[in-house]
Amino acid sequence: MTAPAARLQDLLGDTPRARARIRRLRVLDRIIAGAITLGGISIILAVCGIFFFVAGEAAPLLFPARARAQPAFPAATGPGRALAVGEDEYREKGWLLTDAGCIRLLDFAAGALLREEPLAGLGAARVLCGARAAARDVIAAGTDDGRVLVAGIVFTPVFQNQRRVAQEIAVAWQFELTLRPDHGPVELVCVTADDERVAVAAAAPGFLGLASRKIEGKRVRSADASAALGGLLPTALALDENAQSLAVGFENGQVYRFAIDGEEAALAENLHAGGEAVSALAYAFGSKTLLVGDAGGAVAGWQGIRSSETSVRTMSRVREFERMPAPVTAFAPSRRNKSFLVIDRRGNVRLEHVTTARTLLDLESPAGGGPLSLAPRSDGVLAAGAGGDLQRAELDAPHPEATLRALFLPQLYEGYDRPEFVWQTSGGTDDNEPKFSLVPLIFGSLKGVLYAMLFSAPLALLAALYTSLFARRRMRGLVKPAVELMGALPSVVIGFLAGLWLSPLVDRNLAACGGVLISIPLGLALAALVFRSSRIRRRLATGRELLYILPFLAAACIGASFAAAPLQDLLFGGDLRAWLVDVLGLAYDRQNCLVVGMALGFAVMPIIFTVSEDAMSNVPRSLRAASDALGASRWQTAWRLVLPAASPGIFAALMLGFGRAIGETMIVVMATGNTPILDLSPLNGMRTISACIATEIPEAPLGGSLYRILFLAGGLLFAFSFLANTAAEVVGERLRRRFARW
């Protein structure tokens, strides 16, 4: 018996050696099966882990705001009613201005009063009113002898070993401004300040005055606007952050807005806020929205809107907030976003947001409707009661501007005339409100996919059809590997070529590119007419039709290039770009969707071609032979047999191309203008979700609204790809069942 036969007998026979070999094979089979199963489960868990991580980072956007009450601070160590309050960004130190004419400096961490400092220059006068600047710890107190006493409070951190260990508070400077030469009482006051200058406005029955002074200087600039009151009694004042606009509310529900220019204050607008007396005014962060509260509890936001008849912006009532249960007594705008606190006479406090016009949080101040402030980081509330006790609460509202309405519905933003979809995460200054509409990004992603598929899908499918059914074997062996090799090109290389070579080429030859889009179909139609002749078809070798069509395509491209300049002079006045803008109103961008469609289509084409060609080639030859036997032409066989039979694979190829295109990053970043606009025109750019994530995630603050919204956008991208793959599988399975009986 030969050695191979003996080994075969050992394997098949009932011998100890055979049984041991079988046991080893079974163990090896279990190990391999376990490894494969573990690998599959690991992949599924990794995908699920990525999804849950993305969802976990985006979920806090939808969490409601929360508040936690803190122990009350007994600041009533002396007489006086609270007029204004404030605290530092760490919420360790604070201050309180009273009508007794003193500033109380407080230590919240220790629960103690540090010291009291009287207002410099008060003398025998009495303090009638007080206010604080919205963006600074600067206070103003109006007296009964026509003066306004101004003081600046400074918080200074103390560091040891490069770590902050304490916070110091001090009244850094004080001065007085005489607003009423007749020494009449000042019953209303408001103040605004920056690093160099302080501006105040004061009012009383029949009087309205303004004054400003540099902190380190002594020259006072003042203006008297009393004549513009017309006998009306002022009930509320508000200065914007730049001291360029003053709002004055009255008992009859009107609001006068004065434009301030140096030493002049001119009445600019008369706003009819309603029938109730205006009880509180304030400018929201950025000073573009005026907040108006009245004695009926109504809270509204006014901002400049450009009318259709004129280009001048006038203040219009554009936002209505939830009505307060009692008359509004004060506002406390945030120093870092568009949220603000509003309090009524019964002590009800609400945290509202200007952009979304929604109530973030309902609070209650047992101290009543006294002055209040929102912490510099918008993470705390400080409210003063009638007895001087301070009520404190910790806020957790990190993403007030992120709502489903703001993300997916049009919003009326400051500086806009109508609700729009806008993505703009930064501006020239910090007070510009962020605009987080995801609609332009979703639209841009779908727009890029549209033009990429319009460019790649017809070419890839026709190439796959020709390669699988018409081309000779030698050409098929050259074309398919070459196209598959295209898929190995890095995206950054394609984007680099598109941005630095293709985009300038299209820009210089825009008319020629447009002519090529018309001449190539005409060239193909002419080739079809020529080849309809049976005499010419008999001379063509089967499988070499492409070689005879190429001259027609080359002639079409060359003809379009030579005819572009004369036709541009004849039809478009010598400048096609200017004609598109002036006549058709189409914006032209050098890095436009034509370039993106070609570059992105070049990257998508290999996937569609490879999968489609495999699907067409796998149609059984017996079916094609039966079609040929029945006398069908090759085109009839392709159209009525091969394409329907291969439709599951073709649909899967298109969905794979869709997923590849919608997730592409580098090509879109380098080849388009990256402008988030809603316009289907192929002559301007767009911004896709993937490009936005790539460009903005490095600068997004960790845990901030932009950071989490970008994760939400990534989740949407994941959902699009998942739906595309699911649709490919479901539709492909249905098509396979439909054509299975063939």
Residue 590 has which token pair?
Answer: 């050098």
pLDDT at res. 731: 79
Determine the pLDDT at residue 542: 60
Q: Give the burial class of 605: count Cβ atoms within 10 A of its Cβ; 0-12 exposed, 13-18 middle, 19 or more buried.
A: buried
pLDDT digits (tens, 9 = 90+) for 78-116: 677 889 999 999 999 999 999 888 999 999 888 888 989
Residues contacting residue 490 through CB under 8 Å, at least 6 positions apart: none
Sign of the dihedral defined by the CA atoms of residues 575, 581, 586, 590, in that order? positive
Query: If you average pLDDT over every residue of the chain, what do you get?
Result: 86
Kindly state the tokens that stand for 25: 């094979």
- In the block, tokens 């002898």 appear at 145
Predicted pLDDT at 537:
60
Q: How confident is the model at residue 411 (pLDDT cuts 50, 70, 90)?
A: very high
Mean of pLDDT values over 398-422: 90
pLDDT at 566 over 80: yes
Would the pLDDT of 1 be above 60? no
For residue 539, the model assigns a pLDDT of 63
Question: Most confidently modeled of 337-341, 464-468, 568-572, 645-649?
Answer: 337-341
Q: What DSSP character marks residue 228?
A: G
Inform me whether the pLDDT recorded for 687 exceeds 70: yes
**Secondary-structure breakdown of the chain: helix, strand, coil percentages, each rounded to the nearest 5:** 40, 30, 30
Lowest mean pLDDT among 90-94, 360-364, 365-369, 678-682: 365-369
Burial readout 277-311 (b: 16 or more C-beta within 10 A, e: otherwise)? bbbbbbbbbbbbbbbbbbbbbbbbbbbbbeeeeee
Confidence tier at 12 by pLDDT (50, 70, 90): low
CB-CB neighbours of 435 under 10 Å:
22
**Phi, psi values for residue 111, rounded to 5°:** 70, 40
Burial grade of 599 (CB within 10 A; 0-12, 13-18, 19 or more): buried
> What pLDDT does residue 251 have?
92
Assigned token pair, 669: 């970043």
In DSSP notation, 675-731 reads: -------TTS----HHHHHHHHGGGSPTTSHHHHHHHHHHHHHHHHHHHHHHHHHHH
Most confident residue range from 439-453, 482-496, 580-594: 439-453
> Which stretch of 12-16, 267-271, 480-484, 564-568 has the lowest confidence by average pLDDT?
12-16
Q: Are 667 and 596 in contact (CB under 8 A)?
A: yes
pLDDT recorded at residue 275: 83
DSSP string, 16-83: HHHHHHHHHHHHHHHHHHHHHHHHHHHHHHHHHHHHHHHHHHHGGGGSPPEEEEEEEE---SSS--EE
Mean pLDDT (whole number) for 145-151: 94
As a whole number, mean pLDDT of residues 613-635 equals 82
pLDDT at residue 111, as a whole number: 84
**For range 6-27, the mean pLDDT:** 70
Pairwise CA distance, residues 325 & 539, whole Å: 93
| Over residues 593-600, mean pLDDT | 88
Other Cβ atoms less than 10 A from the Cβ of 63: the count is 12
Q: What is the pLDDT at residue 554?
A: 85
Per-residue pLDDT averaged across 335-355, rounded? 91
pLDDT at 387: 62
What integer pLDDT is reported at residue 94 of this predicted model? 93
What is the gyration radius of the CA atoms in the chain, in angstroms?
A: 37
pLDDT at 545: 67
Contact between 188 and 181 (Cβ < 8 Å):
no
Residue 14 has pLDDT above 90, yes or no: no
What is the average per-residue pLDDT within 698-711?
90
pLDDT at 183 over 90: no
Average pLDDT of span 56-85:
83
299-306 sheet: strands from edge to edge: 278-283, 289-294, 299-306, 313-321
Give residue 429's pLDDT: 66
Local confidence band at 428 (pLDDT 50, 70, 90 cut-offs): low
**Cβ-based neighbours of 123, under 8 Å, separated by 6 or more:** none
Strand arrangement of the beta sheet that strand 147-160 belongs to: 127-132, 138-143, 147-160, 163-178
Answer with the residue of higher pLDDT: 628 or 651. 651
Beta partners for residue 73, in sequence order: 390
At 251, list the tokens: 């008992």
Classify residue 445 as left (phi > 0), alpha (psi -120 to 50) or beta. alpha
Of all residues in the chain, the percent with pLDDT exceeding 90 is: 37
Domains and CATH numbers, the chain: 66-408 (2.130.10.10), 439-513+596-738 (1.10.3720.10)
SS3 209: strand
What tens digit of pLDDT does each residue of 655-675 get? 889 988 988 888 888 888 788
pLDDT band at 742 (very low <50, low <70, confident <90, very high): low
Asked if residue 65 lies in contact with residue 351, where contact means CB atoms within 8 angstroms, the answer is yes
The 3-class secondary structure across 133-164, one letter per residue, is CCCCCEEEEEECCCEEEEEEEEEEEEEECCEE
pTM of the model: 0.86
Comparing 85-94, 255-264, 539-548, 556-565, the range with the smallest average pLDDT is 539-548
Q: Which residue has the higher pLDDT, 386 or 638?
A: 638
Task: Supply the pLDDT for residue 478.
Answer: 84
Q: Is 110 exposed, middle or buried (0-12, 13-18, 19+ CB in 10 A)?
A: exposed
pLDDT in tens, 38-48: 999 999 999 88
Q: pLDDT tens, 454-490? A: 989 998 998 898 888 877 788 888 888 888 888 888 8
Tokens describing residue 41: 């489960």
Task: Determine the pLDDT at residue 535.
Answer: 63
**pLDDT score recorded for residue 210:** 93
* pLDDT (average), residues 118-145: 92
Provide the pLDDT for residue 543. 58
pLDDT interval class at 568 (50, 70, 90): confident
